[in-house]
């Protein structure tokens, strides 16, 4: 496990090059930091109609929660070190079948950053599957009826990146914990998993059966980049600044 938190471990000294993200070559300039979007072969070449269609299909199949991308991500407003953000946006870790675990308080950008990376993965011709524990549980629960669980797990693991968002917000039912474990086990060293959580992974045994948590976390964290976010909720800050709604007239 590599810790790349703002307050637990050092950030990588240099961001790996290559792959990159869709809006390649563009730099998002901020007051203090610059997030460099590296050009990629996929992004540099003019998109062929069939490639665009494939990406569109994959975007729909991924079931993204909000459609937020790195385009609306403000580097300087994140507690994740810029070098870490840069290294993750290369998407090289997905090529290496490594995992990403983002944990920290609510409203600190865990889901937005992860969804931005996942959109970038689609633009780089990768497949993504996005779940919460609840949607994962319901997807696998259906397969218990007709005995197609193994097939469904294998289908989910065709994605290069499998995201399980917001682990720990709600108590985890036994079936959801089992679904969580099955995907982690099936994807282990074969696919990348990204997990976001408001609790530290070492505390997952407080929200799911200990045996499942221990075995799952062991596999998840073995090849994982661990990023911790911190600070106040961006949602609360926006609400308090009166930017949460369009003013009533
Ligand atoms: N660095 C950032 N740049 C742009 N928007 C951000 C940033 N961090 C958080 N936000 C916004 O704040 C809100 C909460 O972020 P979210 O990713 O849902 O938090 P979390 O998953 O940690 O609870 C969202 O509207 C998100 O777009
Ligand atoms: Mg979230």
pLDDT digits (tens, 9 = 90+) for 17-46: 333 333 333 333 333 344 445 445 455 566
Per the CB < 8 A criterion, the answer to whether 101 and 224 are in contact is yes
Provide the CATH number for the domain around residue 205: 3.40.50.300
Ligand 1 atom at shortest distance from the alpha carbon of 112: 17
Region 49-62: mean pLDDT is 93
pLDDT digits (tens, 9 = 90+) for 84-110: 999 999 999 999 999 999 999 999 999
For residue 132 and ligand 1, the question of a CB distance below 6 A is answered with no
Choice from 73, 102, 106, 107 to test ligand 1 binding pocket (greatest atom count within 8 A of CB): 107
User: Which ranges in the chain belong to alpha helices (H)?
Assistant: 41-44, 49-62, 82-89, 92-95, 110-123, 133-146, 149-156, 174-187, 210-222, 234-240
For residue 111 and ligand 1, the question of a CB distance below 6 A is answered with yes
Q: Looking at the domain assignment, is residue 40 inside a domain?
A: no
Per the CB < 8 A criterion, the answer to whether 220 and 162 are in contact is no
Q: Looking at the domain assignment, is residue 138 inside a domain?
A: yes
Interval between CA 26 and ligand 1 midpoint (Å): 22
Q: Looking at the domain assignment, is residue 175 inside a domain?
A: yes
Radius of gyration (Cα) for the chain, nearest Å? 18
For position 240, what pLDDT does the model report?
86
Residue 16 pLDDT more than 70? no
Q: Looking at the domain assignment, is residue 214 inside a domain?
A: yes
Task: Give the burial class of 210: count Cβ atoms within 10 A of its Cβ; 0-12 exposed, 13-18 middle, 19 or more buried.
Answer: exposed
Q: Which residues pair with 128 in a beta bridge?
A: 161
Residue with more model confidence, 55 or 50: 55
Per the CB < 8 A criterion, the answer to whether 184 and 167 are in contact is no
For position 146, what pLDDT does the model report?
87
Q: Looking at the domain assignment, is residue 64 inside a domain?
A: yes
Q: Looking at the domain assignment, is residue 15 inside a domain?
A: no
Residue with more model confidence, 41 or 83: 83
Region 72-83: mean pLDDT is 97
Q: Looking at the domain assignment, is residue 130 inside a domain?
A: yes
Interval between CA 112 and ligand 2 midpoint (Å): 7
Q: Looking at the domain assignment, is residue 220 inside a domain?
A: yes
The structural domain count of the chain equals 1
**Among 191, 140, 202, 128, which Cα is nearest to 165's?**
128
Residue with more model confidence, 38 or 207: 207
Interval between CA 196 and ligand 2 midpoint (Å): 7
The torsion angles phi and psi of 168, rounded to 5 degrees, stand at: 100, -5
Domain ranges, residue 139 = 2-10+25-34+48-230
For residue 106 and ligand 1, the question of a CB distance below 6 A is answered with yes
For residue 20 and ligand 1, the question of a CB distance below 6 A is answered with no
pLDDT digits (tens, 9 = 90+) for 122-174: 999 999 999 999 999 999 998 988 889 999 999 999 999 999 999 998 888 89
For position 179, what pLDDT does the model report?
94
pTM exceeding the 0.85 threshold for the entire prediction: no
């Amino acid at each position: 496990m590599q810790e790349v938190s703002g307050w637990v471990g050092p950030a990588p000294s240099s961001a790996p090059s290559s792959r990159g993200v869709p809006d390649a070559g563009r730099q998002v300039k901020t007051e203090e930091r610059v997030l460099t979007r590296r050009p990629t072969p996929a992004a540099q070449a003019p998109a062929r109609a069939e490639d665009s269609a494939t990406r569109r299909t994959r975007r729909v199949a991924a079931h993204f929660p909000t459609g937020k991308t790195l385009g609306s991500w403000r580097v300087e407003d994140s507690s994740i070190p810029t070098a870490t953000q840069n290294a993750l946006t290369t998407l090289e870790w997905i090529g290496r079948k490594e995992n990403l675990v983002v944990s920290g308080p609510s409203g600190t950008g865990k889901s937005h950053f992860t969804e931005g990376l996942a959109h970038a993965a689609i633009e780089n011709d990768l497949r993504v599957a996005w779940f919460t524990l609840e949607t994962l549980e319901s997807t696998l629960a259906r397969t218990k009826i007709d005995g197609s669980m193994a097939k469904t797990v294998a289908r989910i693991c065709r994605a290069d990146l499998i995201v399980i968002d917001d682990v720990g917000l709600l108590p985890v039912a036994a079936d959801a914990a089992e679904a969580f474990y099955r995907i982690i086990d099936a994807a282990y060293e074969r696919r990348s998993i990204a997990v976001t959580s408001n609790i530290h992974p070492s505390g997952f045994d407080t929200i799911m059966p200990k045996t499942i948590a221990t075995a799952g976390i062991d596999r998840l964290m073995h090849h994982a980049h661990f990023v911790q976010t911190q600070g106040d909720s961006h949602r609360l800050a926006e609400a308090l600044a009166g930017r949460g709604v369009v003013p009533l007239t």
